Amino acid sequence: MAEPEHVISDPGVQNHNNEDENEIQERSDDVEDDEDEDPESQKAKLRNRFQNFFRRIQNESVSIRVHDVLIKGNTKTKDTLIEAETASLKDASTIKELLAASGDVNFRLQALEIFDSVKITLDSGPPELPGTANVIVDVVETKSPLLGEIGVFNKGEASSSTLEGTLKYKNIFGYGDLWDGSLAYDCDHKAEASAGVFLPRFRGLGNPVTARLFLQSRDWLKFSSFKERSLGLSLGLFSTRNHDVVYNLAWRTLTDPSRMASSSIRGQLGHGLLSSLKYTFKIDRRNSPLRPTRGFAFVSTTQIGGLAPDSHSLRFLRQELDLRCAIPLGFYHSALNLGISAGVVFPWGPGFSSMPSPLPEKFFLGGNLSPVCTLGGPTSLWGFRTKGLGPTEPRRQLQNNPADENSDSGRDYLGGDLAVAAFADFSFDFPSKWLSAKGIHGHLFASAGNVDKLTENSHRNFSLQKFMQSFRSSAGVGVVIPTNLFRMELNYCCILKKFGEDRANSGFRASFSSSS
């Protein structure tokens, strides 16, 4: 993205409302003297004049009023879109405010991703209107509206990174509209095909609107004896830097091709209608999402399902909280990262206390991710595999050997209605300039977490003391190798505490994570 560019045509123009005739006469005399001086002296005087002008802008409140905003260079993009993005320029009452507003407008126009360059020029207003200025917005529309991208991404509900390829077409109708189609796949047998549109301005709304059709398939046979398929629509209703509201409508189907699912899994197989509203509040003041060394971050996600009047509608309330803090230590670029996250999900409606939470909405800890990067809720612990801990239930025995006591079909991981996870990560540079220049560094880490069941009247037997005593934990040391696409960790993990059915072992592990 290009840096904001401002051009001021004449510093004298911005000052004339406070000048008297003597100042104007002195300026005219200076111009006449400049004609008799050599070019170097003229440049030096002009440089000093601009320096004095900008010094005055910074130290004084120089009043000004924007007379007009002129838009140039757009052939396909509608004037109404650019006018909406530049409306804040007319609110400026001083030159300092006008320069700040110009930088903000430049950033917003570049963020639309439909212009190759944006140049904003501040010029004098009409001679008969002293103390005014015209703002000229000169844009160059992109020459290549078609764009392909490939990358590795994390999603809050995922337990691994996702490889995603996207094809985008920009500004088809001139409203800054961005159309895209994408394919995604991850190592946990999740595949997704989707198509969507992004509208920065929709019918005068001040916030962008997004709409996305998706077909998603997940294979959880290995862990929980079911496959999930969803077809639906995601509609972004409101989005700012800190707030995000999304409505999801999807027809979801859970199946068990193996016919070995446990009784708890079998009870949730079949069709369901997901109609939910999701609100996310996010503050991220960290200096880097992949290797934060100072700052803090907080995310709160609230989701309510069951907004459709249908018997198949999944009714639930889901809340997630995540707090992060990075503390610089002052040597070898070292920092201590601390994080704690929690989540709870509960059904609602008649007889809710005896009903289970929807299976895909439950919490599962574990996966091939670094907790440092997964901002959004409890998702992973170092050393524990995908869906590697929590309540389990034995699967049905194979029919061909029902009397064989040694036959074991395994267990299904059921997830939990309550999840808590915490971690500490101490990162530091190696005493090698070459490694430091490449961003390769070391870290010591520890993590702990637990999931438990609250639904189907289990909350009556819940004990906070037992929940804390059954926390799983791990610690280790490793090397972090950052790349343009993801953060790679080569770690040795030591499992400090686990229980019989948990899938975790001490040893070397590699993880690949991108920022959430």
Q: Which two tokens stand for residue 274?
A: 């997901």
In three-state secondary structure terms, 74 is coil
Q: What share of the chain is helix, strand, coil (3-state, %, to 5)?
A: 20, 45, 35
Classified as helix, coil or strand, 437 is helix
Positive/negative CA dihedral, 239, 363, 514, 322? positive
Question: Is the pTM for the entire model greater than 0.85?
Answer: no
- The 10s digit of each residue's pLDDT in 99-119 is 888 888 889 888 888 888 999
Cβ-based neighbours of 274, under 8 Å, separated by 6 or more: 230, 232, 248, 249, 250, 251, 252, 305, 313, 314
Residue 231 has a pLDDT of 96
Distance CA 385, CA 482 (A): 22
**Is residue 177 a contact partner of residue 198, using CB atoms and an 8 Å limit?**
yes
Beta strand 115-124 with 6-8: parallel, antiparallel or unpaired? parallel
- All residue ranges of the chain with pLDDT < 70 are 1-37, 50, 53-54, 56-60, 152-161, 187-189, 202-206, 398-409, 516
What whole-number distance in Å separates Cα of residue 152 and Cα of residue 157?
15
Instruction: Please name which of 387, 304, 309, 379 lies closest in space to residue 347, comparing C-alpha atoms.
Output: 304
Helix (H, G, I), strand (E, B) or coil at 256: coil
Count of Cβ atoms closer than 10 Å to residue 282 Cβ: 18
The pLDDT, as a whole number, for residue 33 is 52
Tell me the C-alpha to C-alpha distance, in Å, between residue 323 and each of 225, 299, 342, 433, 471. 33, 7, 9, 33, 19
pLDDT at 408 (0 to 100): 57
C-alpha distance across the termini of the chain, in Å: 21
Residue 503's alpha-carbon distances to 22, 131, 385, in angstroms, are 85, 72, 6
Contact between residue 178 and residue 145 where contact means Cβ atoms under 8 Å apart: no
Q: Can you give the pLDDT at residue 15?
A: 42
